[in-house]
Amino acid sequence: MHELNICFSLIRILEASAKNALPPIPRIKTVWLEIGELAGIDLEAIRFSFPIAATHSLAKDAILEIKTQAGRAHCHNCGKDVMIASLLVPCAICGQYNYTITQGKALRVIKMETE
Amino acid sequence: MCGYCGCGHDHEHSHEHAHASRIIQIEQDILRENQCFADQNRIYFSKNHIIALNLMSSPGSGKTTLLVETILALKQRCALSVIEGDQQTDLDAKRIAATDVPVLQINTGKACHLDAHRIGHALIDLAPSSNSVLFIENVGNLVCPALFDLGENAKIVILSVTEGEDKPLKYPHMFEKASLMIINKIDLLPYVSFNVKRCIEYAKRVNPHIEVLQTSATTPQGVDLWCDWLLQTYDAKITA
């Protein structure tokens, strides 16, 4: 359940970003994340963990908006760039598994809306 | 507050906007904090000529037994030390300590993986010698440790034949990150339905570059090949 640890890291980032703002931030209302399909992160576990990690923070009761980033790979067999929905699927063009992931591992906080 | 990092997590910069919208752009990798500590560890390893290997597996794959055999085979040839990660107990550290190499036990408590920050503190306490190999035995778990860079030179995944050949497909992130897969307990192959060829095929499916070794820590078949791999890695890095 690394998602809970990740949510605690997220809260530290949010609070650090809010710390020096003027006028002071009383509450974080919404948080936008970008998470890749290939990042090894379970979105439901993030949604479950976030309120727990946020309990004693400025982000208590904040809404979490998650944008998913599609997986992409460069296939070394056929030379094409293809969509990859998981680490287990072959290249959609040639059916081989010899590819390098080029996108889909994002685990980023984009922005937050505060009061 | 600790001397190593302050533990205050004051590294992020705020980007406040004085506009009415009160949207604050952050644009930051959530694992950046771990990444920063991992980078510090990597510099430490490089400066001190230490090869750090992150050993990961399910609980009960034989990591500690393999490690004990490895230490006994190699300790006359190069300096070794060990960081043991478990949720609770110092049982593994005691087994390593019996081989007379420096060992430090980290108890993660509720956490399911080691992170770079804990390793940074452990390096201060353990003070591994220069020109040495440091084994980091991660918490037994094929999921969470895959995501946390410790600053190591290589991630090694150990899979025992009693666990089933399909583990690389069930836990692809771990096998994708590893440079070496060790199939352990091969002395039990006659008693279990584990298809070695298929297991390797599955691992190569998620990671075409993964190297594979087969060992039995108890017999100790294949441990010599694993020691050769270690010495080659050591020579390549230390004498480079």
Tokens of A25: 């931030």
Q: Could you tell me the domains of chain A?
A: 2-70+104-114 (3.30.2320.50)
Three-state SS across chain A? Answer: CHHHHHHHHHHHHHHHHHHCCCCCCCCEEEEEEEEECCCCCCHHHHHHHHHHHHCCCCCCCCEEEEEEECCEEEECCCCCEEECCCCCCCCCCCCCCCEEEEECCCEEEEEEEEC
Closest CA to B137 of B212, B63, B227: B63
Decide if B109 is inside a domain. yes
Please give the residue range of the domain that contains residue B175. Answer: 32-238
Decide if B12 is inside a domain. no
Mean of pLDDT values over B139-146: 93
Decide if B11 is inside a domain. no
Distance from CA of B146 to the nearest CA of A (A): 9
Decide if B1 is inside a domain. no
pLDDT at position A59, please?
Answer: 97
CB A5 within 8 A of CB B117: no
Place of tokens 């063009």: A93
Count of domains observed in chain B: 1
**pLDDT confidence tier of residue B7, bands split at 50, 70 and 90:** low
pLDDT at position B204, please?
Answer: 96
Nearest Cβ partner of A110 from B13, B27, B169? B27
Using the beta-carbon criterion (under 8 Å), do B14 and A20 form an inter-chain contact?
A: yes
ipTM score assigned to the predicted complex: 0.91
Q: What is the pLDDT of residues B177-216, one digit of tens each?
A: 999 999 999 999 999 999 999 999 999 999 999 999 999 9
Using the beta-carbon criterion (under 8 Å), do A9 and B172 form an inter-chain contact?
A: no
What CATH number does residue B231 fall under? 3.40.50.300
Residue B240 vs residue A67, higher pLDDT: A67
Distance from CA of B86 to the nearest CA of A (A): 15
Q: What is the mean pLDDT of chain B?
A: 91
Residues A45, A49: Cα–Cα separation, whole Å:
6
- The one-letter amino acid code at B103 reads V
Residues B40, A2: Cα–Cα separation, whole Å:
22
Decide if B195 is inside a domain. yes
Tell me chain A's radius of gyration from C-alpha atoms.
18
Question: In the predicted model, is pLDDT for residue A2 greater than 60?
Answer: yes
Decide if B95 is inside a domain. yes
Q: What is the mean pLDDT of chain A?
A: 95
Chain B residue whose CA is closest to A113: B23
DSSP string, B84-103: EEESS-SHHHHHHHTTTS-E
Q: Is B20 on the interface with A (CB under 8 A)?
A: no
Contacts with A25 from chain B: Cβ below 8 Å: 22
Question: In the predicted model, is pLDDT for residue B34 greater than 70?
Answer: yes
Residue A24 vs residue B154, higher pLDDT: B154
Decide if B7 is inside a domain. no
pLDDT at position B10, please?
Answer: 47
